[in-house]
Structure 1
Amino acid sequence: MISPVLAASPQPSPAGWESVRDDFLAFLVTAGWNLLWVAVTIASALLLSWIMRRLISRVVDHIVLGAKSRAAAEDTRAIDMSPLAQVRIVQRTRTLGSILTNIVNVAIVIIAILTIVYILNPGVLASFTLLSAAIGAGLGFGAQNIVKDVLNGIFIVAEDQIGIGDVVDVGLATGIVEYVSVRVTHVRDVNGTLWFVRNGEILRIGNMSQGWSRVVIDVGVPLDADIDAVEDAMLTAAKDLVREPKWRTRILDKPEIWGLESIGGDTVITRLVVKTRPNAKDDVSRALRKRLKTALDELGVPLPQLASTLLTGADAAQSIRGANPPKTKPQQVTPPTPPRLAWRPKKRGRTDGEPPEGTAAP
């Protein structure tokens, strides 16, 4: 038996049911098209990102291969001696490639998100002005470090301060640069630890892979040793090392004896320096120490001390140009003018002027 209340309640007409059905079908069609366009946007973003990464990779590989082929010229040593060597072009190109890849990925993601938001609700972008103002205020107060990291990273790469493969000292870490982005730099030290250094925290950079390096070896000998004979043996051993084909391309200049460096206790310190390629400094230093040890053993001179030296501070500043300081032209010194006498005897025929008091007349 049907309740009187249910019987009295209005029942939807067939036309009403058709209207609800049509509205539901229209919603499904609109949602389906929106989802389809969202999928197309995501697929287009992924395809564009892949194309751009492939294009950047092809350009980087083309520049790297070109630099390597040009480095095979006859005057390879002159190319390596230049601060703008081909290896710097390779390292800088790879660094710029990684930076451009990051920028392209971020730009594509932002554009894809805005497109998806517009597809789902076009009215949201109408209030984008307020949203951008809020984002700007948030960046001004809460994201200052991120902005600082990005700006500093752009300047570091643009000025070629760091390149992938460089051996650098950034204060917070020392090692080989493995990756550079607009925000962080990856540095792996000699122990294998990977350091993530924010670009905004880098206050100074010491790049050990640009231009050239210098091996500085201090040789300590007893006080009674013949210093001239020791220096001749050291220089001969270093020159023999330079003549070998293995080391000829790694050493950029002839060895130099900077002479007697210090005298302390029972040891006399003599300094030998060799200018090398940046990536060959440690190898040349090891080989040179071995040669020096053999040469001084043949000379019969014991070695209380034989160590590589890293000059810092005032010693580094005074030794930048080594044992060959710049020559200056001698300056002529004009002799001072003799002071004028307070009184001079009057000449013949003149009546002016009388000798001062207390002075005898001529």
Structure 2
Amino acid sequence: MQQTAAEGWEAVAEWWAAWGQPIGIVLVIVGAFIAYWIVKAIVSRVVHEVVTGVKRKADAADTEALANSPLAQVRVVQRTRAIGSVLNTLAGWVIGAFALIVILSILGVNAASLVAMAGFLGAAAGVGAQGIIKDFLNGLFMVFEDQLGIGDTVDLGEASGVVESVGIRVTQVRDVHGTLWYVRNGEIVRVGNESQGWARVVIDQAVPYEADIDAVTERLLDVATAMSEEPEWLGRIIDKPAVWGIESVSAEAVVVRLVVKTRASAKYEAGRELRRRVKEGLDELGVTLPSLQKIVVKGMEERA
């Protein structure tokens, strides 16, 4: 009986010696796929919950409109999905590398050789793909830090316009002429974003030197205040208009500065409408505007 048991164990040992390595490799591969599937399911679940939460909050109250605008919701969804995609990719590489090391260990490869090979491959990748790695890391930080998002009006130095796509490697920006620019994230060293938070409409209105400045100032403020109180603009103008005073004085004209704080997405629309109303208001006041060729505006925007 004991001999039979010994023979049985010996047969099992022989079978394992013959098939142990292939079975171990298969188990490692299956385990890697299962681990990746679990991580991917968790990340997908988190992304889904965030996106669902954003959609649920879409009907925000007016007082929360600035922080919960459709643009802000798109940015949250986009950033969440981008981060989820990055995490899935990162998890796949980490799990794959770990599985490869385990498989090579099963095959009897020396651990020191694995470390040397990994160092060599890492050095080769670092030399040959510096640009791609730089693009990837910069794009990752831009997504994480919410520096820009779809629909934003931005100035990236080489290109400016409306952002149409934010990728991990390339950002697409369409300028005012309709040209679509593909900007590598690694080449972006500064981002001027005109669509985050709030914006300010600044109107430097030139009036004749002999005009009644107090009357002009009062009319500008009345026009802007009346516009801000209309239902159409109530949610887009977020603060009381103000006249900052005289910006510059010349022999031909006096420049008065009017400012209105708006939601970032409403800056240009509100500015165009306000300029039209300012013109009508000054016409009613009987103020004849001087020639623009004779005016030199000086102030904090002088260089522009």
After TM superposition, the score normalised by the length of structure 2 is 0.71
Q: Deviations over 1:312-354 (max 9, x none)?
A: 9x7169xxxxxxxxxxxxxxxxxxxxxxxxxxxxxxxxxxxxx
Query: What is the aligned counterpart of 1:188 among 174, 185, 197?
Result: 174
d(CA) in 2 for partners of 1:93, 1:298 = 48
Runs of at least 5 residues in structure 1 that lack an aligned partner in the other structure? 1-39, 318-362
Instruction: Give the counterpart letter for 2:57 in structure 1.
Output: A
Provide the alpha-carbon RMSD of the alignment: 3.9
d(CA) in 2 for partners of 1:233, 1:124 = 87
Q: Is the 8 A contact 2:40 2:88 kept in 1?
A: no
Q: Is the 8 A contact 1:95 1:179 kept in 2?
A: no
The equivalent residue for 1:166 is 152
Instruction: Give the counterpart letter for 2:158 in structure 1.
Output: L
d(CA) in 1 for partners of 2:45, 2:120 = 36
CA shift for structure 1 position 143: 2.1
SS of 1:68's equivalent? coil
Distance 1:267 1:125, change over 3 A: farther
* Residue 281 of structure 2 is aligned to residue 303 of structure 1: no
* Residue 262 of structure 2 is aligned to residue 276 of structure 1: yes
d(CA) in 2 for partners of 1:48, 1:91 = 27
d(CA) in 2 for partners of 1:101, 1:245 = 42
d(CA) in 2 for partners of 1:62, 1:190 = 34
The equivalent residue for 1:64 is 54
d(CA) in 2 for partners of 1:221, 1:115 = 75
CA shift for structure 1 position 52: 7.8
Query: What is the aligned counterpart of 1:214 among 168, 189, 200?
Result: 200
Query: What is the aligned counterpart of 2:83 among 64, 85, 99?
Result: 99
Q: Is the 8 A contact 2:172 2:180 kept in 1?
A: yes
Q: Is the 8 A contact 2:156 2:191 kept in 1?
A: yes
- Bigger mean CA deviation after superposition, 188-197 or 217-226: 188-197
d(CA) in 1 for partners of 2:86, 2:75 = 17
Q: Is the 8 A contact 2:207 2:287 kept in 1?
A: yes
d(CA) in 2 for partners of 1:54, 1:213 = 35
Q: Is the 8 A contact 2:36 2:95 kept in 1?
A: no
The equivalences for 1:118-137 within 5 A come to 129-137=115-123
d(CA) in 1 for partners of 2:74, 2:109 = 43
Q: Is the 8 A contact 2:47 2:84 kept in 1?
A: no
Distance 1:210 1:191, change over 3 A: same
d(CA) in 2 for partners of 1:214, 1:275 = 4
Bigger Rg, which one: 1
SS of 1:271's equivalent? strand
CA shift for structure 1 position 110: 8.3
Q: Is the 8 A contact 1:212 1:278 kept in 2?
A: yes
SS of 1:214's equivalent? strand
- Share of identical aligned residues, percent? 45
Runs of at least 5 residues in structure 2 that lack an aligned partner in the other structure? 1-29
d(CA) in 2 for partners of 1:114, 1:219 = 67
CA shift for structure 1 position 278: 0.3
CA shift for structure 1 position 128: 5.2
Q: Is the 8 A contact 2:243 2:258 kept in 1?
A: yes
CA shift for structure 1 position 285: 0.5
d(CA) in 2 for partners of 1:46, 1:160 = 27
The equivalent residue for 1:237 is 223
Q: Is the 8 A contact 1:80 1:277 kept in 2?
A: no
Q: Deviations over 1:1-22 (max 9, x none)?
A: xxxxxxxxxxxxxxxxxxxxxx
SS of 2:300's equivalent? helix
d(CA) in 2 for partners of 1:200, 1:166 = 19
Distance 1:92 1:175, change over 3 A: farther
Structure holding more helix per residue? 2
Instruction: Give the counterpart letter for 1:217 in structure 2.
Output: I
CA shift for structure 1 position 297: 0.8
Instruction: Give the counterpart letter for 2:83 in structure 1.
Output: I
d(CA) in 1 for partners of 2:222, 2:247 = 19
d(CA) in 2 for partners of 1:262, 1:124 = 82
Query: What is the aligned counterpart of 2:68 among 65, 86, 101?
Result: 86
SS of 1:220's equivalent? strand
CA shift for structure 1 position 155: 2.3
Q: Deviations over 1:287-321 (max 9, x none)?
A: 11111111111111112368xxxx99x7169xxxx
Distance 1:114 1:236, change over 3 A: same
Instruction: Give the counterpart letter for 2:68 in structure 1.
Output: Q
- Bigger mean CA deviation after superposition, 233-242 or 276-285: 233-242
* Residue 200 of structure 2 is aligned to residue 204 of structure 1: no
Instruction: Give the counterpart letter for 1:244 in structure 2.
Output: E
